Amino acid sequence: MELMFCKWVLAFLLYCWLIFAVGFSVEGLHENSRVRGVNLGGWLVIEGWIKPSLFYDIVNGDMLDGTEVQFKSVTLQKYVSAENGGGMEVTVDRDIPSSWETFRLWRVSESIFQFRTSQGQFLTCNGDGGNVTAAAESASITETFYIERNLNNRVHIKLKSGTYLQASKANQLTADYLGTPGWDDNAATFEMIIVSNILHGDYQLANGHEHDKAKEVLKVDYPIATLTGPVMISTHGGSNGQFRFLD
């Protein structure tokens, strides 16, 4: 912890020095004068666009935490929708997707996810035979789903019990599909559209690789991140301002 604190203090002091140095030296520059600076990006935090190879070996790497997706029933040809953007029922009746039909992934593992609506609620199902709603304010077991995926971006979504969700003829999303679906056009098969996958930060790295693999990747491909002690990563992309250490 002391090493980590020293690292951040030194970085802050260096940043302050650069601000003052550049601020006082730029004024009155001649035509052939130069200003020198240091880029700290990618040193104190992970940025995927700087070193994309950090994320190459993550299974379902295009479904990292924070990715936005939409689901379209292959039988109804309608999109899954959280009415009013969340807090109400979930239907499968929209022809054109928008914010109500877009869900943010909270990644638990490579095949286990929670789905957050545009208004902040989570999709939830109380068990076999139940309807999926978007009324949960926080995520737990009943808000956790398993995704099976094929190469054509078709997916099956199921509960922990093994029961698959399906788009019913009444345009509801229900947990009552009988048996195991194939990849043909059936009520339990959905097309998954990835709308946005721009978050490639420290949390996505640690969450995607999981603890031991993330440490290995950082030591091999990003050694500067581990030179001075444990790596501090934000939880859920830092959206709630909380941090933990990957020691």
Q: Give the pLDDT mean for 209-235.
A: 62
Domains of the chain: 1-40 (no CATH), 41-53+199-247 (no CATH), 68-196 (2.80.10.50)
Helix pair 211-221, 202-209: axis angle to 10 deg? 120
Confidence bin at 207 (pLDDT 50/70/90): confident
pLDDT value of residue 126: 92
Neighbours of 56 (CB within 10 A): 9
Question: Would you state the pLDDT for residue 139?
Answer: 94
Tally helices (H) and strands (E) across the chain: 3, 14
pLDDT of res. 44: 64
- pLDDT for 26 beyond 60: no
Q: Which of 23-27, 29-33, 176-180 has the highest mean pLDDT?
A: 176-180
Characterize 123-142 residue by residue with b for buried, 16 or more Cβ atoms within 10 angstroms of its Cβ, and e for exposed.
bbbeeeeebbbbbbeebeeb
Q: Mean pLDDT score of the chain, rounded to an integer?
A: 81
Confidence of residue 228 (pLDDT cuts 50, 70, 90): very low
pLDDT digits (tens, 9 = 90+) for 130-150: 999 999 999 999 999 999 999
- How far CA 228 is from CA of 11, 178, 223, 245, in Å, comes to 12, 54, 10, 13
Whether the CB-CB separation of 98 and 88 falls below 8 Å is answered with no
pLDDT tens-digit readout, 40-95: 556 666 777 777 777 888 888 889 999 999 999 999 999 999 999 999 999 999 99
Which residues are registered as beta bridge partners of 107?
A: 113
The DSSP-derived string for 50-75 is: T-GGGGTT-TTTTS-TT-EEEEEETT
Q: Which long-range contacts (CB under 8 A, 24 or more apart) does 23-30 make?
A: none
